[in-house]
Structure 1
Amino acid sequence: MEWGEFILALAAFLGSHVIPARFRAPLVAALGRRGYVVGYSLLSLALLYWLILAAGRAPHVELWPQWPWMRWLVNLVMPVAVLAAAVGGMAGLMAGFALWASAHLVANGDLAHVILFGLLLAYALFGLAVGLRRGVALRWTWSRLAVAVLVWAALFHLHPLVIGVSPQP
């Protein structure tokens, strides 16, 4: 299938972020706000997961080599990314997403992953700009910090099982 799965997954992921903007009101009316947010979040995560796996299965076209320091960079950035997402509202979520995408962009120097993380970085930066215009409300609580630590630990330890690549240098 070569690049076909990656292109299809990318189109589905991007489409899922364009189409709901046109149908959000009727979906919220039908599902309720909470139902819409939960459903849309689960769909987005599933499509993102498929997109990440499809990028890993795409033909490997190296643009730059992977060096050990690149994995260290990801391991240093990810706790900050998860913390930003946990305490910063929508702008923090987008900042965390941008940190995640930029660190993974550096660490994965093949064409499919550069397309994947480059587009996700651009999307996150756009969302961050929108979020910053609305104002940033930090929600710094010990419970959010604890959740951030647990999420980071889960991402780190489950990465080999879920993604198929160890995050350890």
Structure 2
Amino acid sequence: MTDWFEYIAAFLGFFAAHNIPTRPATKAQLQGLLGKRGFSIGYSVLSLAVLYWLIMAAGRAPVVVLWDWAPWQNHVPFTAMALFCLILCLGVARPNPFSFGGRNNASFDPKRPGLIRYTRHPILLALALWAFAHLVPNGQLAHAILFTVFGLFALMGMRLIDRRKKREMPEWENLQNATRQAPYLHAPLSWGGLVLRLVIAVNLYIGLLHAHGPILGVYPAG
């Protein structure tokens, strides 16, 4: 059991860090101390640091093989991560009153919702895709637990946010119905903005592919 201590501690640290935004009093105190921008930056750094620790701790945990690795398994995250980058870049920092990660939510147009026509929670969908795709080539117990928990955490987050938003937004149902009636394909609010997001998605994919080995010690391309 002691061999698993760091892994368990990292998991507890991860959930403790992500519990901060769910506690209004604690969040308000930190925002008062650091300012809203300072809190956002500090919390982002903390989240990435704890995530990195957890991933590295999983690699140092005792090896318990649940299924053997096969070369074809690497193609799953290779393909899924391209979709991850696309969904993330098309969904983040755009009007989205249904979930977190939105920007200028008051300007959301249900007639031209973009990616929100397909999913209310693009960031959580991208995280679930990342987790379950990485589960396939990682058949060791520690990694299997890690990616399964992350995937389920993202899916559960969608339901929890829906429940909270329905309480906070009296117009939630009408706005959702209007969004569903929008065409599946429609002109974007800005063609230039769309092209920029696509360019960022491509560069993000390339950057993640090249940074994976030096940062995490695992080289996806061999």
TM-score w.r.t. structure 2 length?
Answer: 0.69
Match of 1:148 among 182, 196, 201: 201
Gaps of 5+ in 1: none
Cα drift, residue 63 of structure 1? 0.5
Correspondence 1:50 to 2:103: no
Q: 1:157 to 1:103 in 2, by over 3 A?
A: same
1:3-152 pair list within 5 angstroms: 3-22=4-23, 23-89=26-92, 90=101, 91-130=121-160, 141-152=194-205
CA shift for structure 1 position 144? 1.6
- 1:74-97 CA-to-partner distances (Å, cap 9, x unmatched) read 100001011111112342111111
TM-score (norm 1): 0.90
Partner secondary structure for residue 19 of structure 2:
helix
Query: More helix by proportion, 1 or 2?
Result: 1
Q: In structure 2, how many angstroms separate the alpha carbons of the residues matched to 1:3 and 1:150?
A: 37
Greater shift, 29-38 or 159-168, is seen at 29-38
Letter in 1 for 2:54: L
> Residues 127-159 of structure 1, C-alpha deviation per residue, up to 9 Å, x if partnerless?
2335567568x9862222211111111110111
- The one-character-per-residue Cα deviations of 1:98-140 (angstroms, maximum 9, x if unpaired) are 100000111101110011111111111122335567568x986
Cα distance in 1 for partners of 2:211, 2:44 equals 20
- The farther-off stretch of 17-26 and 41-50 is 17-26
Alpha-carbon distance between aligned partners in 1 of 2:20 and 2:38, rounded to the nearest angstrom: 17
Long gaps (5+) in structure 2 = 93-100, 102-120, 166-175, 180-187
Q: Which amino acid aligns with 2:198?
A: L
Query: RCO greater where, 1 or 2, for CA within 8 Å and sep 6 or more?
Result: 1
Counterpart of 1:110, as a letter, is: Q
Contact kept? 1:86, 1:92, Cα under 8 Å: no
CA RMSD of aligned residues (A): 2.2
Q: What CA distance in whole angstroms lies between the structure 1 residues aligned with 2:53 and 2:209?
A: 19
Question: Paired residues, what number?
Answer: 168
**Stretches (4+) displaced over 6 A:** none
